[in-house]
């Protein structure tokens, strides 16, 4: 919408907030907070309805104690119609956009009467790889997608296991509360993390110096070491990873929960009947049987972290560049050719990630 809708005056809430803070030059934080509250008030009732509809989670079980056979739905005479719809959809949503990005990345000039083959060039890519901040953006995106995605899945798995098959009030509260970061636009979540990284060390430093936290033993050591370390986090890629992980917590937990729900409860009950503790059941039954779902979750988180842009806009600084945040920054300056080249590089990275994952046995249909 920032590229297609904004020039025509067609806005959604995310682009509206972006215009408030970046184009008008007025940090309208009060309006952003109001929008966030409205979105949360809409999201929470919908989640309650969704949880009520999913009360019978046994219907999602695919790994049971007894073997079962899947059935293919025959389409009959509608097979060619459905195939045509799928092909048309792929052309509109994938082929045409990728072709446009490819042409803009490799063609220096285009227009009516211009031969594209006469203007094929790699100058844009030379420009990309000659700028240190763009190189850091590529490296950071790969690191936060591969390593950060894996670490995020590990965190989500621990949380998901703690909530697995425990229909108590604490679990329900956690289930609803993790959706709050995803209920607000990513640009607002990034702004919230910027405030956290800026003001939390400042508040703790003042409190440890002259406030009620000054009575803590070793308060001076905390100020000289811990507070300094907390301030340095702001300019590291860890801050971006933490923001991504929290913002996509709800989606990650849904992926993990879906993988865990595929394991039938009777398998865990059989292990408990032999005297196995909850930790043993988790290590030897639940996690091994759900491993392909967990690996698939890592792949999806890699794709999300690799393409995420809105959350990192306010966290953009030397050392925290990612491809997504640089795309927004460069688009605002009118560097369309660099944007196309970075987008093409990002697509290549995603395709390489998919290829490597498939090579190591990740099944996209699990």
Give the other-Cβ count within 10 Å of 46's Cβ. Answer: 11
Structure token digits, residue 320 = 């925290």
How far, in Å, CA of 283 to CA of 286, rounded?
7
DSSP bridge partners of 120: 107
Q: What is the pLDDT of residue 111?
A: 66
Residues 253, 316, 179: CA angle, nearest 5 degrees: 20
pLDDT at residue 89, as a whole number: 94
pLDDT along the chain (366 residues), means of 10: 61 69 63 72 74 60 55 80 92 89 81 71 88 91 91 89 71 71 74 81 83 79 83 86 88 82 75 76 79 84 86 82 87 84 90 78 58
Question: Residue 107, SS3?
Answer: strand
Instruction: Check residue 270 and give its pLDDT.
Output: 80
CATH number of 122-366: 1.10.3720.10
Q: What is d(CA 249, CA 251) in angstroms, rounded to the nearest whole number?
A: 6
Domain ranges for the chain, please list them.
1-45, 78-121, 122-366
Question: 18-30 in b/e burial notation, b at 16+ Cβ within 10 A?
Answer: bebbbeeeeeeee
Q: 256 near 279, Cβ under 8 Å?
A: no
User: For residue 166, what pLDDT is reported?
Assistant: 67
Give yes or no for a contact between 11 and 19, defined as CB atoms under 8 angstroms apart. Answer: yes
For residue 112, the 8-state DSSP code is T
Phi, psi of 211 (to 5 degrees): -100, -165
Q: Are 276 and 183 in contact (CB under 8 A)?
A: no
pLDDT of residue 119: 73
Residue-level pLDDT at 226: 83
DSSP string, 3-23: TTTGGGT---HHHHHHIIIII
| Other beta carbons less than 10 A from residue 36's beta carbon | 19
């Amino acid at each position: 919408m920032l590229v297609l809708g904004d020039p025509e005056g067609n806005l959604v809430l995310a682009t509206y907030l972006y215009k408030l803070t970046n184009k008008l030059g007025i940090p309208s934080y009060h309006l952003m907070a109001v929008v966030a509250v409205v979105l949360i008030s809409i999201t929470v009732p919908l989640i309650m309805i969704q949880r009520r509809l999913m009360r019978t989670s046994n219907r999602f079980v695919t790994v049971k104690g007894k073997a079962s056979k899947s059935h293919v739905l025959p389409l009959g005479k509608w097979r060619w119609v459905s195939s045509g719809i799928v092909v048309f959809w792929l052309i509109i949503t994938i082929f045409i956009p990728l072709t446009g990005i490819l042409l803009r990345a490799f063609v220096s000039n285009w227009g009516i009467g211009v031969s594209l083959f006469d203007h094929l060039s790699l100058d844009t890519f030379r420009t990309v790889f000659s700028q240190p901040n763009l190189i850091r953006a590529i490296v950071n995106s790969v690191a936060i997608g591969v390593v950060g995605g894996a670490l995020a899945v590990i965190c989500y798995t621990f949380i998901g296991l703690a909530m697995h098959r425990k229909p108590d009030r604490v679990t329900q509260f956690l289930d609803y509360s993790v959706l709050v970061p995803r209920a607000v636009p990513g640009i607002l979540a990034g702004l919230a993390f910027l405030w956290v990284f800026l003001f939390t060390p400042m508040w703790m430093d003042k409190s440890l110096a002259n406030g009620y936290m000054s009575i803590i033993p070793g308060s001076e050591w905390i100020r000289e070491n811990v507070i300094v370390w907390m301030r340095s986090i702001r300019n590291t890629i860890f801050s971006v990873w933490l923001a991504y992980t929290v913002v996509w917590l709800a989606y990650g937990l849904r992926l993990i929960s879906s993988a865990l729900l595929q394991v039938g409860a009777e398998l865990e009950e059989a292990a408990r009947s032999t005297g196995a503790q909850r930790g043993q059941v988790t290590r030897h039954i639940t996690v091994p049987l759900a491993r392909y779902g967990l690996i698939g979750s890592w792949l999806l988180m890699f794709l999300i972290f690799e393409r995420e842009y809105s959350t990192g806009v306010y966290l953009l600084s030397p050392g925290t560049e990612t491809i997504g945040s640089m795309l927004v920054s460069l688009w605002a300056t009118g560097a369309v050719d660099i944007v196309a080249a970075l987008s093409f590089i990002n697509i290549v990275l995603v395709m390489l990630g998919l290829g490597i994952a498939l090579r190591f046995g990740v099944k996209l249909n699990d």
